[in-house]
């Protein structure tokens, strides 16, 4: 039954995707502006639905931090609307000619960006993802099937209802944006099995969600977001700069995937740097989980293998002294999740070796790991940060939400 | 046991991939030339091993066409060597800067091509794929795990043994090229489950093989090759040109994925074109499976739903008259495998509508479907033709065998 329900929304999405693929930028932008205006106008209805979700969550004993992520207010609704307007302002990726040439036989070859078709998004928590994802998918010409968490069900329904009506009011198909209906885990599982109907699935959420989608999906998946990010302080680091970078990477926003989770310090600068960085981190409220050198300082917890591998997402950091750059590279190779690693160094050779040898989505020299972000990279919108190597790696903006096709024109060529 | 064997070759491949990722173009090209020379020098040993495979296959009652695909001779070995030398002559995709900019805060952002790491290839039949795939993977900096069919086991072992020795002789790791050992289906299945060790899996072969890899793999897959390609003859077609294109697309090499399998003719030109095309196809030995209009001609078989959906790979073609371009588009949407579709028309509007509305890897105007090919597109080498939308679509050359990473350099930037 669930499978057929998901199949029926997916079939409607495919129909809508045919129209969306051919929609002009002007038509898509008009829909995005109408969606933004619609959300602002419907603020009361959205907040009423959200209030019911928040009450139910509080009643269910869901932790306060999670209830807080669920909670909307008028500012957050206005923020969703602003996000949609920003996406309207971005260039349309569809139709971009990625490469082109004229072949020896006169055939004209062009590789052109086209939408995927139907994109499935499985996500947890914050209802603003609903509007963000719908906007990015619509602008890139894709129909979207949204599967949010059940705790945000009423909020998501209210938001999607506004978005659908706005799309339809400008002449685009309402089915460009649909929620996947149904209770429990089955609808998400049916979405993962909808190969042929859904072109790509993007899970956004914790490591457990992402792992289950990757393992169970027959639809192609873009894996996002788990970040066990490292900062390596080289023997030739400017130590003032290193201190700024470590503190920023760890404490600026510890709950996000581009926050630093591990600190590696070259042995030659350990005496000069370890006391300073431990003091500064502790002053900022960070618990340091360190090796022997670090643990000689008051308040430092002994580090475990598990600490090295963890994405804390909290004011904790694993810390270790390494004998040289190669040992830092081995440590990163062993424990990194492939998201972002940074080196602090004045040495051109060390920077070159680090950027060549580290196999992560982003490798940063002399700056905070916090810069791995679609907004910071200037993409204007971001659907997530891919930590896989296929299709897209790193922050994904609008072009990453497209495929391509080859258009070949001739005048009768045969082989 | 199998899983651990596959794990051990995959771990060795990962080690090799670290070296390969940093190997210069000069080092990789030297290895490719050594491999080519090695194959030519070892022709006798390769042919002896191949002879054993061919005898065993003949003894096992394998159809003669398949035995023929398995068979090597001195020319085919020389052809493999030439293929490796051609790959050496192509530009190195690794290190190409795909995009770059300086951000407002002074951070320098570059998106750079890097190898995937470890590529798994599961393939049937022809042993020349072994050398082709090894060459393309090595040039793109990837270690390769090859799982060929058991009927080609001895041939593949002989070829891989030469390639490994040649790589090692030039200082690259022998484990850049490995066969996945073991009997039966289990080793391939273990390869499909080696997520984290293998970065991407490319199945090359029939529809059954590809479907099973897509469904069972937890490693990201690039789907290749099934082609139910259509030629649509528009009411404004030049009918001489249309005849040439249909004949070439169907008969030039019927066993390959870019051969035409279906013919659609606009009703307005049916009277003028159907008798000519039926006659010409039949003269070329093609069995036409046609609708009522076609079946009015001698020797035309009545077409079935199944015919419309089939990839014949033989001298057969499904044929139907359609009332207009939109009906042709609906037919294609229903039955196409998303490989290649062609329109023959003099109308700019019809060509524009067809290329926009057809959602296939390649859309061709006034030329044969046979041009969808890495060699024809000027890529110099091809690992297969992707019919999926994620990562690569259409013929895949060297750049398609890479991922990217972002390299960000600053002078102390924090957020």
Using CB atoms, which residue from A22, A111, A351 is nearest to B356?
Answer: A22
Contact assignment for B390 to A220 by CB distance below 8 Å: yes
Q: What mean pLDDT is predicted for residues B142-163?
A: 96
What residues in A contact B116, CB-CB < 8 Å?
389-390
Task: Tally Cβ neighbours within 10 Å of residue A3.
Answer: 15
Please tell me the total number of residues recorded for chain B in this structure: 415
Q: Are B133 and B144 in contact (CB under 8 A)?
A: yes
Distance CA A5, CA A37 (A): 31
What residues in B contact A372, CB-CB < 8 Å?
406, 408
**Residue A410 to chain B, least CA–CA distance (Å):** 5
Which of these, B413, B403, B415, lies nearest to B107 by C-alpha position? B413
pLDDT value, residue A2: 61
Q: In angstroms, how far apart are the furthest CA atoms of chain A?
A: 80
Contact assignment for A22 to B394 by CB distance below 8 Å: no
Which of these, A331, A306, A334, A336, lies nearest to A321 by C-alpha position? A331
What residues in B contact A101, CB-CB < 8 Å?
378
Chain-centre distance of CA B43, in angstroms? 26
What ranges make up the beta strands (E) of A2-127?
97-102, 108-115, 118-123
Contact assignment for A415 to B377 by CB distance below 8 Å: no
Please tell me the total number of residues recorded for chain A in this structure: 415
Using CB atoms, which residue from A116, A247, A377 is nearest to B389?
Answer: A116
- Pairing outcome for strands A200-204 and B97-102: unpaired
Q: What mean pLDDT is predicted for residues B390-401?
A: 96
Q: What mean pLDDT is predicted for residues B371-394?
A: 93
Residue B4 has pLDDT above 80, yes or no: no
Using CB atoms, which residue from A367, A413, A415 is nearest to B107?
Answer: A367
Chain-centre distance of CA B124, in angstroms? 12
- The angle subtended at Cα A175 by Cα A169 and Cα A178, nearest 5°, is 115
What residues in A contact B404, CB-CB < 8 Å?
393-394
Distance CA B262, CA B306 (A): 12
Q: What chain B residue is nearest to A223 in terms of C-alpha separation? A: B220
Q: Are A364 and A371 in contact (CB under 8 A)?
A: yes
Question: For residue A254, what is the DSSP state?
Answer: T
What residues in A contact B413, CB-CB < 8 Å?
366-368, 371
Distance CA A150, CA A170 (A): 30
pLDDT value, residue A126: 86
Distance CA A241, CA A148 (A): 41
Please identify every stretch of chain A with a pLDDT value under 70, giving residue numbers as ranges.
1-3
Rg of chain A on CA atoms, in Å: 24
Distance CA A165, CA A169 (A): 6
Q: What mean pLDDT is predicted for residues B71-87?
A: 96
pLDDT value, residue A189: 93
pLDDT value, residue A3: 63
Residue B66 has pLDDT above 90, yes or no: no
What residues in A contact B361, CB-CB < 8 Å?
405-406
Distance CA B269, CA B266 (A): 6
Distance CA A88, CA A154 (A): 26
pLDDT value, residue B3: 63
Interface of B with A in 362-391 (CB under 8 A): 362-368, 370-372, 376-378, 388-391
**Residue B406 to chain A, least CA–CA distance (Å):** 5
Which residue has tokens 């001609």?
Answer: B297
Q: What chain B residue is nearest to A386 in terms of C-alpha separation? A: B405
B114-135 pLDDT tens trace: 999 999 999 987 899 999 999 9
Burial class (CB in 10 A: 0-12, 13-18, 19+), B6: buried
pLDDT value, residue B184: 86
What residues in A contact B248, CB-CB < 8 Å?
414-415
- What percentage of residues in chain B have a pLDDT greater than 90? 87
**Is 0.90 topped by the overall pTM?**
yes
What residues in A contact B335, CB-CB < 8 Å?
none
Name the CA dihedral angle for B201, B204, B206, B210, rounded to a multiple of 10 degrees: 10
What ranges make up the beta strands (E) of B54-107?
97-102
Contact assignment for A409 to B107 by CB distance below 8 Å: no
Residue B201 DSSP SS3: strand
Q: What chain B residue is nearest to A408 in terms of C-alpha separation? A: B364
Interface of B with A in 224-283 (CB under 8 A): 238, 241, 244-245, 247-249, 252
What residues in B contact A109, CB-CB < 8 Å?
377-378
- The angle subtended at Cα A77 by Cα A74 and Cα A82, nearest 5°, is 125
Which of these, A142, A106, A148, lies nearest to A128 by C-alpha position? A148
What residues in B contact A244, CB-CB < 8 Å?
412, 414
Taking CA atoms, B12 is separated from A232, B18, B30, B97, in Å, by: 27, 10, 22, 29
A59 interfacial to chain B (CB closer than 8 Å): no
Best mutation target, A24, A403, A411, to test chain B (most B CBs within 10 A): A403
Distance CA A295, CA A309 (A): 18
Taking CA atoms, B289 is separated from B244, B294, B307, B323, B328, in Å, by: 19, 8, 7, 19, 17
The residues, ordered by sequence, that sit 6+ positions from A104 with a Cβ below 8 Å of its Cβ are: B378
**Residue B84 to chain A, least CA–CA distance (Å):** 23
B230-258 pLDDT tens trace: 999 999 999 999 999 999 999 999 988 99
Q: What mean pLDDT is predicted for residues B297-311?
A: 96
Question: For residue B223, what is the DSSP state?
Answer: -
Q: How many CB pairs under 8 A join A and B?
A: 211
Tokens of A74: 């008028």
Taking CA atoms, B265 is separated from A266, B247, B290, B345, in Å, by: 72, 14, 11, 11
Phi, psi dihedral angles at A127 (to 5 degrees)? -70, -15
Residue A256 DSSP SS3: coil
**Residue A41 to chain B, least CA–CA distance (Å):** 34
Best mutation target, A97, A408, A409, A411, to test chain B (most B CBs within 10 A): A408
Residue A159 DSSP SS3: helix
Reported for A291-294, long-range contacts at CB under 8 A and 24+ positions apart, including other chains, are A291/A319, A291/A320, A291/A321, A293/A321, A294/A319, A294/A320, A294/A321
Using CB atoms, which residue from B101, B116, B360 is nearest to A405?
Answer: B360
Using CB atoms, which residue from B247, B357, B390 is nearest to A22?
Answer: B357
Rg of chain B on CA atoms, in Å: 24
The DSSP result for B15-37, as a single string, is HHHHHHHH--HHHHHHHHHHHHH
The DSSP result for B51-120, as a single string, is HHHHHHHHHTT--HHHHHHH---HHHHHHHHHHHHHHHHSPP-TT-EEEEEE-TTS-EEEEEEEE-SEEE
Q: What share of chain A is helix, strand, coil (3-state, %, to 5)?
A: 45, 20, 30
Bridge partners (DSSP) of residue B404 are B113
Distance CA A199, CA A294 (A): 49
Chain-centre distance of CA B192, in angstroms? 19
Q: What chain B residue is nearest to A194 in terms of C-alpha separation? A: B215
Contact assignment for B366 to A411 by CB distance below 8 Å: yes
Q: Are A295 and A237 in contact (CB under 8 A)?
A: no
A7-27 pLDDT tens trace: 999 999 999 999 999 999 999
Q: What mean pLDDT is predicted for residues B135-161?
A: 96
Q: What chain A residue is nearest to B237 in terms of C-alpha separation? A: A412
pLDDT value, residue B63: 84
Contact assignment for B221 to A222 by CB distance below 8 Å: no
Interface of A with B in 174-213 (CB under 8 A): 195, 199-200
Using CB atoms, which residue from B357, B367, B389 is nearest to A408?
Answer: B367
Contact assignment for A241 to B412 by CB distance below 8 Å: yes
Written in H, E and C, the secondary structure of B275-297 is HHHHHHHHHCCCEEEECHHHHCC
Using CB atoms, which residue from A220, A409, A415 is nearest to B368?
Answer: A415
Count Cα neighbours of A86 within 13 Å in the Cβ-side half-sphere.
18
Q: Are A371 and A361 in contact (CB under 8 A)?
A: no
Taking CA atoms, A307 is separated from A313, A318, B262, in Å, by: 12, 6, 59
B102 interfacial to chain A (CB closer than 8 Å): no
pLDDT value, residue B1: 45
Distance CA B195, CA A216 (A): 13
**Packing angle of the helix pair A153-169, A25-41 (nearest 10 deg):** 130
Contact assignment for A371 to B107 by CB distance below 8 Å: yes
Distance CA A249, CA A342 (A): 10
Using CB atoms, which residue from B363, B405, B410 is nearest to A367?
Answer: B410
Burial class (CB in 10 A: 0-12, 13-18, 19+), A144: buried
pLDDT value, residue A22: 96
Band (pLDDT 50/70/90 cuts) for residue B312 is very high
Distance CA A334, CA A315 (A): 23
Best mutation target, B109, B233, B359, to test chain A (most A CBs within 10 A): B359
Contact assignment for A412 to B244 by CB distance below 8 Å: yes
Domains of chain B: 2-223+391-409 (3.40.605.10), 229-371 (3.40.309.10)
Q: Are B52 and A387 in contact (CB under 8 A)?
A: no
pLDDT value, residue A1: 46
A331 interfacial to chain B (CB closer than 8 Å): no
Which of these, B136, B45, B126, B147, lies nearest to B84 by C-alpha position? B136
Residue B236 DSSP SS3: coil
């Amino acid at each position: 039954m669930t499978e057929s329900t998901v199949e029926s929304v997916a079939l409607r999405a495919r129909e809508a995707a045919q129209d969306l693929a051919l929609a002009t930028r002007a038509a898509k932008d008009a829909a995005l502006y109408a969606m933004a205006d619609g959300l602002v106008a419907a603020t009361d209805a959205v907040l009423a639905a959200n209030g019911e979700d928040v009450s139910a969550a509080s009643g269910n004993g869901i932790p306060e931090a999670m209830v807080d992520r669920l909670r909307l207010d008028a500012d957050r609704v206005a923020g969703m609307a602003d996000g949609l307007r920003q996406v309207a302002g971005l260039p349309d990726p569809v139709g971009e000619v990625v490469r082109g040439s004229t072949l020896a036989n006169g055939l004209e070859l062009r590789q052109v960006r086209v939408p995927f078709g139907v994109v499935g998004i499985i996500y947890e928590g914050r209802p603003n993802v609903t509007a963000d994802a719908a906007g990015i998918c619509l602008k890139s010409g894709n129909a979207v099937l949204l599967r949010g968490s059940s705790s945000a069900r009423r909020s998501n329904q209210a938001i999607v209802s506004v978005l659908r009506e706005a799309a339809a009011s400008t002449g685009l198909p309402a089915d460009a944006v649909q929620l996947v209906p149904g209770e429990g885990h089955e609808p998400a599982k049916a979405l993962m099995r909808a190969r042929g109907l859904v072109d790509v699935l993007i899970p956004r959420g914790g490591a457990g969600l992402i792992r289950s989608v990757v393992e169970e999906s027959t639809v192609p998946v873009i894996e996002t977001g788990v970040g066990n990010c490292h900062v390596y302080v080289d023997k030739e680091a400017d130590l003032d700069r290193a201190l700024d970078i470590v503190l920023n990477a760890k404490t600026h926003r510890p709950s996000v995937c581009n926050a630093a989770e591990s600190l590696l310090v070259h042995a030659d600068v350990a005496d000069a740097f370890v006391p300073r960085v431990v003091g500064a981190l502790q002053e900022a409220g960070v618990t340091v989980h360190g090796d022997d050198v670090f643990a000689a300082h008051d308040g430092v917890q002994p580090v475990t293998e598990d600490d090295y591998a963890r994405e804390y997402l909290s004011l904790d950091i694993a810390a270790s002294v390494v004998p040289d750059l190669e040992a830092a590279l081995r440590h990163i190779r062993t424990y990194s999740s492939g998201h972002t690693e940074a080196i602090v160094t004045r040495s051109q050779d060390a920077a070159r070796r680090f950027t060549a040898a580290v196999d992560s989505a982003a490798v940063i020299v002399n700056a905070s790991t916090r810069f791995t972000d679609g907004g910071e990279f200037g993409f204007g919108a971001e659907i997530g940060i891919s930590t896989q190597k296929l299709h897209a790696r790193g922050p994904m903006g609008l072009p990453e939400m497209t495929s391509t096709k080859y258009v070949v024109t001739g005048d009768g060529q045969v082989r």
